């Protein structure tokens, strides 16, 4: 099936793509949002401009749609963008990396129904911890670029997720109810490499912004680097 994929460059949207492609779906376009707001209903915003590098690394076209300051306006903007992509590509469905957000799943399903698109949610209701472990097993290189919850500190910014980080996240989930998937904005990530990438993203310059409670890693310069043969 020809799919349009909502895309942030983070771990869940990249892994949803990985599963869809391995299930023989064709990704005709990635769709991401551009906003001057500090929050978005549909997309993670830290370093959202870097999605173009991931799109290039996967050789998949990227469409950037303006996202608004409210769920209703964001959904309207999304529907307009999807309609245009559908007309241009013949897309048959929308791929979303939603894991547990009931309201967002319902809203996106409504948009798909209006456009006569099928709605694919391969990560829905799966264990967040097991999903992350599976990503690591498939050699996803995932960098933390934003944290916003009690229990995190500045050292998480720029950290590459590994088994030790997964153990710590599981502890934070038990102690502080941290959302490991990051859907609530508590944890934002950037995938630097995965099996879908023909090149890997190398962060050359970045700056941490930390206010004592939450923070972001502002990535200022990246390169796409040829992957060594293994």
Given the structure tokens 């710590």, which residue do they identify? 168
pLDDT at 185: 81
**Rounded Cα–Cα distance for residues 137 and 139 (Å):** 5
Kindly report, as residue ranges, where domains of CATH 3.90.1490.10 are found in the chain. 130-226
Using pLDDT thresholds of 50, 70 and 90, give the confidence band for residue 180: confident
More confident call, 72 vs 118: 118
Residue 58: closest CA among 30, 20, 89, 95: 30
Fold of the domain built from segment(s) 2-120: Rossmann fold (3.40.50)
pLDDT tier at 138, thresholds 50, 70, 90: very high
Please provide the DSSP assignment of the chain as one string. Answer: -EEEEE--SSHHHHHHHHHHHHTT-EEEEEEEEE-SSS--SSS--TTGGGHHHHHHHHT--EEEEE--SSHHHHHHHHHHHHHHHHHHH---EEE---SS-HHHHHHHHHHHHHHT-EEE-TTTT--HHHHHHHHHHTT-EEEEEEEESBTB-GGGTTPBP-HHHHHHHHHHHHHH---TT-TTSSEEEEEEE-TT-SEEEEEEEEEEEE-SSEEEEEEEEEEEEEPPP-
The pLDDT of residue 65: 84
The percentage of the chain sitting over the pLDDT mark of 70, rounded to a whole number, equals 91
Q: Whole-prediction pTM value?
A: 0.92
Return residue ranges of the chain for CATH 3.40.50.620. 2-120
- What mean pLDDT comes out for the span 64-72? 71
Domain 130-226 sits in CATH 3.40.50.300: no
Q: What is the pLDDT of residue 13?
A: 95
């Amino acid at each position: 099936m020809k799919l349009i994929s909502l895309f942030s460059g983070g771990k869940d949207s990249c892994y949803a793509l990985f599963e869809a492609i391995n299930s023989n779906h064709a990704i005709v376009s990635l769709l991401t949002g551009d906003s001057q707001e500090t929050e978005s209903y549909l997309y993670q915003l830290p370093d959202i401009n870097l999605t173009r590098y991931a799109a290039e690394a996967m050789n998949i076209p990227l469409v950037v749609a303006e996202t608004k300051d409210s769920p209703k306006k964001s959904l309207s903007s999304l529907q307009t963008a999807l309609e245009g992509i559908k007309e241009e590509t013949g897309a048959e469905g929308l791929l979303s990396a939603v894991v547990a957000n009931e309201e967002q799943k319902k809203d996106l399903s409504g948009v798909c129904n209006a456009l006569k698109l099928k709605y694919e949610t391969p990560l829905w209701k799966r264990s967040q911890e097991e999903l992350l472990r599976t990503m690591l097993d498939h050699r996803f290189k995932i960098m933390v670029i934003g944290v916003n919850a009690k229990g995190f500190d500045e050292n998480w910014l720029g950290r590459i997720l590994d088994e030790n980080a997964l153990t710590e996240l599981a502890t934070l989930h038990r102690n502080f109810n941290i959302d490991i998937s990051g859907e609530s904005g508590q944890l934002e990530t950037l995938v630097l490499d995965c099996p879908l990438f023909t090149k890997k993203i190398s962060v050359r310059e970045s700056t941490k912004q930390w206010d004592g409670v939450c923070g972001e890693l502002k990535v200022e310069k990246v390169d796409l680097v040829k992957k060594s043969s293994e």
